[in-house]
Each structure stands twice: as C-alpha cells, then as structure tokens.
Structure 1
Amino acid sequence: MSICTARGFKATGAAVGIKGGGRLDAALVVSDHPVNCAAVFTQNKAPAAPVQLSKQHLSETQGVVKAVLLTSGNANAATGEPGLNAARTLTEAVATSLSCASDEVLLCQTGLIGIPFPLDSALDGVGGLASSLGSSESDGELAAKAIMTTDTFAKQVVIEGDGFVIGGMAKGAAMLEPDMATMLAVLSTDAELTPSEIKNALVGAVASSFNSLVVDGATSTNDTVIVLASGTAGRVDLESFEDALAKACVKLAEDMAVDAEGATKAVRITVSGAATDEEAHQGARKVANSLLVKCSLNGEDPYWGRVLSEIATAKIACDPSSLSISYGGTQVSFGGVAVAHDEATVAAHMAERWISIEIDLGLGTGVGSILTTDLGHGYIDENRTTS
C-alpha cells in the first residue's frame, strides 16, 4: 500500500541533512516518463517558495510532470528571494539526476516557517535521491516516512478502481483547517487522464476531504495536493475515478484527524436538514472550531448545550424548535431542550476513539460534515514553543 502501487511510479526517502541527526527528511516520487498532473495549493496569502515555484512549473509545462520532491524540517516559507533561489536549485538538482527539464519537477516543503533553508546541507543528498528509487511497497513507505514532521505514523492509501489504481501518501498533524494547511499529499494513478480531468476530480475530492478537516483553525503557507497520472491503464470512466480519488483523499484526511497533535478523539460532525449543503457545512465547521466543544470531547462529556450554542450562532438558517442533537446516533436534545436517552450508551460512545455528533436542523435537505478532533494537553505541549 504505497505511492508506488500504481504502475509507472518509483519513490524513495532519505536523510539529506535538513533535520540533522540522520533523520529522514526528503522524499522523491518519479514517473517512468513525464505524465499529466494537476495540483491544488494553499489559499494563504503568503505562499511558501515551493508553492510559488510549483505553480510556475505547472503553468510552464501545462500540467506535465516527471517528479515531485518533498522535504521536511524546513518550510522554506517567509524566506524571500533566497528561499526561491533555494527552491529552484533543489528542482534543478533533481532534474539533472533524472535527465529531465527542471520545470518538470514540483517541490513540496514542510517544517519551520521563517528559517533560511539549509541548502548547503541538503543539496548533495537531494541530488543523490534518484540513485535509490524503487517501486516496492517499502520504497513507498520510506517516502511517506520522510515527509513526516510532528506526525506519529506514515499516512498512506491505496484504492482499487475499475481497471485502475490510486496510491497516495500525506503528512499533516496540526495547523489543519479548510482550504488545507500544513498538509502535503501526493497521489499517483495509472489511469489515463488529461490535466483538466485530473484537476476537476481533485477539486471535488479535496472539498470533501482535506477542506472538510478542522484541527486548530490555522492555515499554513505550504499545503499542497498533487495527483500524477501515468496513463498505463488506459482511459477510465471519469465518474469512477472521481469516486476513487475522493475515497483516497478522505482516508488520508481521516488519518490526519487521528494523528492530530495532542488529540485523543477523532470526530465527525454532520449537519443535516439545513437550507442548503453550503449552510450545513458552515454549521458543522462552526461547531468543529469551538474550543469549548473540543474541551468537552476531550473530557468525554456529551455536553450538547455547547453544540446547541455554537450551531445557533452560525450564520445559517436555524430554528431551535426543530433542532435535534445526537451523539453516536443517540438523540440527547430536541427543540432546544434535553430528551430522555440511554446515558450509558452515550457514555460508551464518548469513550471511543472515533466520535460522531449529528445535528438535524429540520429545515431542508442540506447535508454537510466536517472532521475534527478534541483539544488535549498534548497540543499545548507541542506548540508552546517553536515547532
């Protein structure tokens, strides 16, 4: 199960000197030949050097890519022209090692913001990554491990489609908020697709996965999701591919929720009965961002009053007289007041790793859900100093 599962791709991971101490900090994903590609990037108004450069490269090649270089330990963000020069030098080193054009190499970087990128330490190692490329599951796993920062496990996925395969890897454990944030993901497929077909599928997949994930409300400078299509499986049904890509992205987003810094609970908040799907998502996001709700989740306390307060202050149509709140499918409130329920059943659900909160506004057919987490002491411990 790795980025190499789809035919036509190789990968590797190595320590190149960014983190120091011999820790893995660089990954390379390479296609057997230049392939069609699409990507989505952070909405942050201060995009990092790798985001700026990758956008430029995709524009220059019109969506044709040979390789993706990913480094961890330094975001190369807020580093000015020296940061851009470092990014260019890294992609040129990879291009030289692969005998391809430098604009056929995309770059993803993650780590500390505002720290000059240690180009002198990393350049030789990056230039040598191509010599260790392989297509085995272990090669893909090595790449997935190399992009981790505060992650505690490598995040990988494989989805078998109708005549095609999607493999992927991602990193992300904090600064996660809709519009993506400090998360990187690269997915490969052997389906034959045009860049525009990939982009359309990717936009939809990201909307239901990474952009529906809230951990701490922070949006990073570096987040990037890239899809590479080798075409070795031939043309495929577009709807089937879109469904498979969405499943792959949801799986990676769920792994991020489970691995969020300091979290003890992964939570799916679903709002139904809204006036529109958009309002349902807005309402779910409002609840997901509530620190009070997150604290209740950490304490395994089904404090529905906090959920009611948050949904009722969202800028959406809401009438408390028709509003229902449930935990794990057990209704605890209706019409703005408590209802009799099996407290033991709810308590057992709150003790689980995955928790679900269902809110029915009773007004329309709109439905939307958001992934989030509780707020644990470990989050503060991890982020009270520069990390």
Structure 2
Amino acid sequence: MSVTAPAGFVAAGIHAGVKQAGTPDLSLVATADGVPVPAAGVFTSNLMTAAPVTVSRSHLQASGGRAAAVILNSGNANAATGEPGCRDAELMCDLTAAELGCDRHHVLVCSTGLIGIPLPIDRIAAAIPALVAARDVRGAADAAEAIRTTDTHRKETVVRGEGFVVGAMAKGAAMLAPNMATMLAVLTTDAAAEPAVLKQILAEAVAGSFNLLDVDGCQSTNDTVLLLASGRAGPVESGALAAAVAEACRDLAGQMAGDAEGATKVVHLTVTGAHSDEDALRGARQIARSQLTKCSWYGADPYWGRVASDLGSAGIAFDPRLLSITYGEVTVCHGGVAVEHDRDALGEHMAGRHLYITADLGLGAGRASLLTNDLTHAYVDENMGTS
C-alpha cells in the first residue's frame, strides 16, 4: 500500500495522454478528507529549476507548511518552459484543489520527464477530475506506477514504527547525483508532527540517503521529496519518527541504485581513514564518477589501480604509502601496492550483483559511504537521444 499504508491517505494513478505509449502518467496522493495536514519538502539545488519545484516551494511557504494533496505527472518535466510552465504547474494545483475542495496553496505539484518541452496541459487538465475521482486507499500502486519514466519497476516502501507507519513511493533511474537524484518521492505518515519538525526530519533523512546516491554525477532540475503527516496515530517520539523516515528514504535510494539505467551492479563505496568526513565523501564521489572505474566494475575486473588513482586526484589529503583497498572481504592493496589475495574469492565477489569496496586512507577518523553502480552499454543506449 506504500503511501496509503498510513491512516488518512488515498492515492490514484491514471493515463492522461502525456505519454504516447498509453501508460499511466498522472498520479495523486491526497488526504482522505481533503483537509490539509503538516507537510515539508526538500528540493533540488540546481539553479535551472523546474516550474513545479518553484510552485511547490511557494505553496509550502504560503500555507505555513501544510498540504492536502500532491499531483504528479511523468513524461514531461515542465522544466525550461518559462512563465507558461509556471502557469501550467499552478493550473494543475488549481484544478486539483477545486476537485478536492481545498485551497490552491494546499496542493503541491511534481513533474518528471523530458526537459524543454511544453507541458501538454490540456490533456492533464481534462484528466484531473477522473484522477481525483479515482482516489482510494487501494490506489498506492497505481500512483507509484504513474510516476515512472525509465524506471523498470515501481519503487515503494513501508516502515512500521511503534504505533505509527511511514509509507513512501519514488521514481528515479538516471541523472542520480547529489543533491538528490533525478527523482521524485512522496512520503506519508500517520504520526502527528508540526511542519518545522517534519522539515528537519526530512532534511536529515535526505542527507543520509538520496544525497549519498551518485550514479552519473548529473543533477536534475526537478528533484523533489515531500512528507505529509495526517496525525491519525497521534503524537510519537520525534526520534522514532526520524528513524522511520530515514529508513524509508534509504530503502528507496537503494531501489534507485539497483534500477539505474543499464546498471548490472550496485556498488557500495566506503572511504575510511580520511582527515575528515568531508574528505572521505569527496574521495568517494571521485571514485563513483570515474567512467574508467565504473567500466571496470561492469567487466567484473578488480582493477584497484583506478580506485587509487581516483583518490589521488580528488584534491584531498592523500599518502599512497598508507592506502589500502578491499573488495568485499578481500584486500587487494596495502601500503599503496598490490598484495597476495584469494583470487577465487575476489572473482566470486566481483561477479555478484552487489559490490562492496572500501578504501582506507590511513590518515585519520574521517569516513563516508555512498551508493553508485557500474557503467554499461545500456546506459549509453538509453541516453543517446530524447525519442
């Protein structure tokens, strides 16, 4: 049930005609009674900001952090569309609000798809009454299906706390880089919490999940993560709610890494022994964005020299004489040079779906981890054009 697992929420997903293939492309998550509840959002830091991001930010500010619904479309990002794009995003909110009987500022909007193409607003506008009418507690899967672009499957999760529930859905398969990814995510909870608390909880959860996902170093124009709290379960301990939201975000981020365009391997990168956590994260990002290194993972080649080279060029404190690199449980480099190791165990690890790579810089207590993937022919095929 994902976003409708927490009490007080309904959802729907239908085909509106944005996607020519006839697949679902218009989605709704709303409170069951259309009444606004505390809400919070985290958005892309890309200055090429899409219209729906601008509109959702302004609506959260105008409402004091309250929302009754989120309407989302796939197949068109409504980005780089100028003032007409902003008007279209506002109209999506206006029409949804009219159907739900709430204020326009209590509706948030998200879009995902191709950039620079005018939104087919007439088709969306005509479909909104049917979308709202279709909302149901059983509509979570349809809502998650309707936000897919190049995703190969829905991304949903449910985390059950003590006396409350967090549900979530997301999309994301490419341009996955901090801050956040080419992603949309809507989280719901039946816990009671004020907007300011939700905002802090969500920001921390995003920092520990979506912001640690780096597939291709490209940041989207539309990244949005939203959290709505119905309060049906009553007040809960803020730490427990924060832990559940963080768990839901980590689960979704892991699903995105596993479904990245063309990926055959999910790579869990950890850099330890850095002078600082910031150095460790910078080193990990240098590895994750190295096309040479990512190609070696695709070929199941434990070419640790590329990892070492990436760290040495990351602009962080580095001494090759102290470097160690481990694939799974197998250490292949110690003191900056190759060491004897179990080649069969290493080959078995490299052939797996999940690779665990740890680089110890030997300089301090700094540590960072992130998720990435391999680079394959399929990634190139997927991204050669827009058609």
TM class, shorter-length: over 0.9
Letter in 1 for 2:338: A
AA matched with 2:366 = G
Local SS of the residue matching 2:69: strand
Aligned counterpart, 1:246: 246
2:304 match:
304
Q: Which moved more, 1:127-136 or 1:338-347?
A: 127-136
- Whether 1:175 and 2:175 are equivalent positions in the alignment is yes
Query: How many angstroms apart in 2 are the aligned matches of 1:244 and 1:346?
Result: 35
Partner deviation per Cα, 1:7-64 (whole Å, 9 max, x = no partner): 1100010001111342100110001321100101011111111001001100100101
Matches within 5 A, 1:303-322: 303-322=303-322
State the one-letter code of the partner of 1:306: R
Give the counterpart letter for 1:98 in structure 2: L
Aligned to 2:9: 9
For 1:290 and 1:331, locate their aligned partners in 2 and report how far apart those are by CA, in whole Å: 21
Which residue of structure 1 lines up, in the alignment, with residue 141 of structure 2?
141
| SS of residue in 2 equivalent to 1:92 | helix
* Deviation for aligned residue 1:181: 2.8
**Alpha-carbon deviation of 1:92?**
0.6
Rounded Cα–Cα distance in structure 2 between residues aligned with 1:242 and 1:151:
27
Task: Tell me the residue number matched to 1:265.
Answer: 265
Name the counterpart of 1:70.
72
Counterpart of 1:321 in structure 2: which amino acid?
Answer: R
Q: Which residue of 1 aligns with 2:340?
A: 340
Is the Cα–Cα contact under 8 Å of residues 181 and 213 in structure 2 kept in the other structure? no
Distance in structure 2 (CA, Å) of the matches to 1:368 and 1:341: 25
2:65–2:195 contact (8 Å) kept in structure 1: yes
Question: Percent identity of the aligned residues?
Answer: 52
Segments of 4+ moved more than 3 angstroms: none
Q: What SS class does the counterpart of residue 369 from structure 1 fall into?
A: strand
User: What residue in structure 2 maps to residue 128 of structure 1?
Assistant: 130
Give the secondary structure class of the aligned counterpart of 1:267. strand
What do the CA deviations read for 1:193-246 (whole angstroms, capped 9, x no partner)? 111111111111111111111111111110100011111111111111111111
Structure 1 residue ranges without an equivalent (≥5): none
Q: Secondary structure at the match of 1:45?
A: coil
CA offset digits 1:75-96 (Å, max 9, x no partner): 0000111111111111111001
Indicate whether 1:110 and 2:112 are aligned.
Answer: yes
Q: Given that residues 186 and 226 in structure 1 are in contact (C-alpha distance below 8 angstroms), is that contact kept between their aligned partners in structure 2?
A: yes
Measure, in 2, the Cα distance between the counterparts of 1:17 and 1:130.
16
1:80 counterpart residue number: 82
Task: Give how far 1:374 is off.
Answer: 0.3
SS of 2:186 mapped into structure 1: strand
CA distance in 2, matches of 1:196, 1:361: 39
Distance 2:259 2:326 in 1: 25
How far off its partner does 1:127 sit?
2.8
TM-score, reference length from structure 2:
0.98
Counterpart in 2 of 1:274? 274
Q: Tell me the CA shift for residue 329 of structure 1.
A: 2.1
The answer on 1:43 being equivalent to 2:67 is: no
Name which of structure 1's ranges 52-61 and 313-322 shifts more when overlaid on structure 2: 313-322
Do 1:327 and 1:349's aligned partners in 2 also have CA atoms closer than 8 Å? yes
In 1, the alpha carbon distance for the partners of 2:320 and 2:242 equals 37
Counterpart mapping for 1:142-157 below 5 A: 142-157=142-157
Cα-to-partner distance string for 1:282-313 (whole Å, 9 max, x where unaligned): 11111111101100000000100000000111
Displacement of 1:128 after TM fit?
2.1
The equivalences for 1:18-57 within 5 A come to 18-32=18-32, 33-57=35-59
For 2:240 and 2:332, how far apart are their aligned partners in 1?
38
1:96 aligns with 2:98: yes
Instruction: Give the letter for the 1:300 counterpart.
Output: A
Are the equivalent residues in 2 in contact too, given 1:172–1:183 (CA < 8 A)?
yes
> What is the CA distance between 1:164 and its match in structure 2?
1.2
- The CA distance in 2 between the partners of 1:207 and 1:314, in whole Å, is 21
1:352 corresponds in structure 2 to: 352
Residue type of the partner of 1:127?
A: P
Counterpart CA distance in 1 for 2:156 and 2:123 is 28
Q: 1:329·1:358 contact (CA, 8 Å) conserved in 2?
A: no
- After superposition, the C-alpha distances for 1:251-295 in whole angstroms (9 at most, x for unaligned) are 101100110001111111001111222221111111111101100
3-state SS, counterpart of residue 228 of structure 2: strand
CA contact (8 A) 1:268 1:356 kept: yes
Q: With structure 1 as the length reference, what TM-score do the two structures score?
A: 0.98
In the aligned structure 2, how far is the partner of 1:140 from the partner of 1:48? Answer: 25
Q: Which residue in 1 is equivalent to 2:371?
A: 371
The answer on whether the counterparts of 1:293 and 1:307 sit within 8 Å (CA) in structure 2 is yes
- For 1:211 and 1:181, the matched residues in 2 are separated by 8
